[in-house]
Amino acid sequence: MALTGREHMRSLVRVSRRWRRVCFDEPALWRSFTVRAYRVSETAAEQVLRLGRRAALLACAARHVRRFRWEEHTEELQSAAALCLYHCLGALRGSQLEQLQLSGPCTLLAGADAVAALQQLGSTVASLHLGACSAGPAGFAAAALGSHLRSLQLSTRELAAALLGSIAQMPQLAALRIEAYAWPDLSPLTRISQLRQLVLLDLRADGQDSMRPPALSTFPSCLERFSFESKHRSFQVAGCMLSRLRLWQGGTLDLGFEQGAAQHLPLPTLALGCCEPEAPLSELLGFLQPAGMPPRKFERLELSGKLPDPASLAGCTHLGQLSELPVACKLQMPVQPVEFGAEPIALVVAAQVRQAAHACLDTLDLSGNGIAILPAALSAATSLTHLTLDDNSLLWLIEAATPVLLALSRLQRLEIDNIGNADAPLLREWQLRMPRLRIVPMPV
């Protein structure tokens, strides 16, 4: 198999009975199994033949399958697809299936027959992924498997109140991710007593029914990781208008759907997308503190959206142990940016450096902020080891930046990809004077 690749599996099993037995007895070959209901330019007859073969192959290897994925992107040619799907679910009956992924409208999964077919999968299914699934089929799937699920990921156009109610009746659910364009009242989520990880993503660009996350104090105390994000609109938390709020304070749950989740970041990590510069961040950070427990000191702060007022940052006592500060606020540049374009960033950096106890800030990312000069306030961040300045097309690294860089005696990596200009002889001089410094990329 290492020589031929998995695409030749069908030919290999025909070589001999021994080869067929070896292929179907090897669990590593069948951990994951995918069926695509429809292909472009495929006739109905070709679809019937292909899906029949696929279902027969699954029947031979079902005992090894741990993740099954069904993909459909159209409601055409549904008769053959329906037959194949029910054959696949039947083949997986009593197997060791752990993850079930249903992608597309999945209108076939409706009614008592669908519920019965899903219930027969057994109690081993702990993770369910419903991608772009219609509300009806999503409700049937959640009802059929809800008593065993530990992880649920749902992407739908409109989150129906009835479906949300079904989800709220899963007390054993540990991880939940919902993407939707329209939202009902989300307070039922606070009844999931074992919820440890919650991700809510609002996809709608305009209109009513925006996402309104419940007050964090109403969730069970076991909730350690949450992310609320709106792609085009804003929501309010503790008086702050935000487009993003994420708090990660523990290892990501290994439940099968952690796109974009913090994997190797300093913890606790806090990400804020501010919609107004006057956001009362001090009140927000105080609001995020656990009741009856020692204060939470954030080690990584990610800033996006509008740049917060430095005065609001300066009063945040919970940032005293900050070690990483990525800033991606995409500043609006003035007419003459070289004169004062970097000033807002400089103020924010200065505020953070003053708050960092014992100058513990070691990673600073200012990528894509439109800065034009290197902020002089950086020279106070003496423990900085990693500085990223990528994608600042107006930034010039010239002789005036030398005192700032030389003050960063611990700096080991400087990233300057896609900046306005860098004086190569000057950069080489910096490296001679700072032997541990690596500049990426180094101009020729």
Reading phi first (left if > 0) and then psi (alpha if -120 to 50, else beta), residue 122 is in left
* pLDDT band of 205, cuts 50, 70, 90: confident
DSSP H or E segment with residue 365:
strand 363-365
Q: What per-residue confidence (pLDDT) applies to 262? A: 45
Asked, as a colleague might, if the bond just before 337 is cis with ω within 30 of 0, I would say: no
pLDDT tops 90 at residue 402: yes
Residues in Cβ contact with 45 at an 8 Å cutoff, skipping those fewer than 6 apart: none
Q: Hey, which residues does 99 pair with through a beta bridge?
A: 67, 127
Where does 26-77 have alpha helices with state H? 44-61
Residue 263 has pLDDT above 60, yes or no: no
- Domain contains 108: no
- Decide if 160 is inside a domain: no
The verdict on residue 301 lying in a domain is yes
Q: What CATH number is associated with residue 395?
A: 3.80.10.10
In a domain, 304, yes or no: yes
Q: Which of 79-83, 159-163, 225-229 has the lowest mean pLDDT?
A: 79-83
- Quote the mean pLDDT of the chain: 81
- pLDDT band at residue 345, thresholds of 50, 70 and 90? low
- Give the domain extent around 417: 236-254+262-287+295-444
Of 232, 240, 262, nearest to 249 by C-alpha is 262
Mapping DSSP onto H, E and C, the string for 163-184 reads HHHHHHCCCCCCEEEEEECECC
The C-alpha atoms of residue 250 and residue 289 are separated, in whole angstroms, by 15
Residue 215: how many CA atoms within 13 Å on its side-chain side? 6
Flag whether 317 is in a domain: yes
> What does the alpha-carbon distance between residue 357 and residue 69 come to, in Å, rounded to a whole number?
49
Average pLDDT of span 124-132: 91
Q: What is the pTM of this model?
A: 0.83
Mean pLDDT to the nearest integer, 43-63: 90
Has residue 412 been placed in a domain?
A: yes
Q: Residue 173: which residues within 8 A CB-CB, separation 6 or more?
A: 149, 150, 151, 152, 167, 192, 194, 195
| pLDDT tens column, 305-327 | 887 777 777 667 777 777 888 88
Residue 356 has pLDDT above 60, yes or no: no
Instruction: For residue 306, tell me if it sits in a domain.
Output: yes
Give the gyration radius of the chain's Cα atoms: 27
* pLDDT for 428 beyond 70: yes
Sole residue written with tokens 């009242």: 185
Tally of structural domains, the chain: 1
What pLDDT score does 210 carry? 72
Q: Is the pLDDT of residue 358 over 50?
A: no
Give domain status of residue 406, yes or no: yes
Give the type of residue at 256.
G
